[in-house]
Amino acid sequence: MSGTYVAAFYLGGTAAGLAYPPFLHLGVAWGLGLAGLVTASAAALAGRAVRD
């Protein structure tokens, strides 16, 4: 189980590192919006996983 956590942690960090650079020049508001969207998506997916 801990191997899954470690893999997800590093894969998530890699995905985030690849996803945010195109948005750097857009400013703080866009960055916060993107972070909010990702957080809301993660919360929705986690809710579905817990229910199933």
Confidence band of 52 (pLDDT split at 50, 70, 90): low
Range of the domain at 45: 3-50
DSSP secondary structure string for all residues of 1-52:
-HHHHHHHHHHHHHHHHHHSGGGGGG-HHHHHHHHHHHHHHHHHHHHHHHH-
Confidence band of 1 (pLDDT split at 50, 70, 90): low
Confidence band of 11 (pLDDT split at 50, 70, 90): confident
pTM score: 0.52
Q: How many domains does the chain have?
A: 1
